[in-house]
Amino acid sequence: MATYHLQIVTPDGLYYDGEAEKLIVRSTTGDVCILAHHINYVTALGMGVAKVTIDGKDRRAACVGGMLSVHEGEVKLVSTTFEWSEDIDLERAQRAEERAKEKLAHRDTLGDQELALAEAKLKRALIRQSAAK
């Protein structure tokens, strides 16, 4: 399968810089698959499990927010949060899920911002768990 140069960066640093065969990531409007020779493209990232195929092997990661760009065959994923599945602390993600669910159990006492934050924390915890499994 043809490859392209993929760079994955976050505010914490560089997560990947090399050749890839395929990238599937969640944009704000749905899943996007990038293969070699993709047209120039830019989109905002949503929250989801990213799948990267490198040397015929699939790797999974929790990917939250940011931008994806394809320009002249170069692909750059700039994410707010990106965690390879093997780096995710599953127990920590499960505890975060429980805390968010406890907070949401009292949703009638939460303001709009608190409610949105609790829902985002729950979704992030579930995505991290899904990527880790």
Binned at pLDDT 50, 70 and 90, residue 41 comes out as very high
Residue 132 pLDDT > 90? no
8 Å CB contact between 104 and 119: yes
Phi-psi region of 79 (alpha: psi -120 to 50; beta: other; left: phi over 0): beta
Structure tokens at 21: 């065969």
Running DSSP on this structure, what letter comes out for residue 87? G
Q: How far apart are CA 25 and CA 36, in angstroms?
A: 15
pLDDT in tens, 82-127: 999 999 988 998 898 899 898 888 888 888 888 888 888 888 888 8
Q: What is the pTM of this model?
A: 0.85
Residue 3 pLDDT > 90? yes
8 Å CB contact between 88 and 63: no
pLDDT in tens, 48-79: 999 999 999 999 999 999 999 999 999 999 99
pLDDT at residue 19, rounded to an integer: 97
- Please count the residues of the chain: 133
* Residue that is written with structure tokens 């990232």 in the block: 45
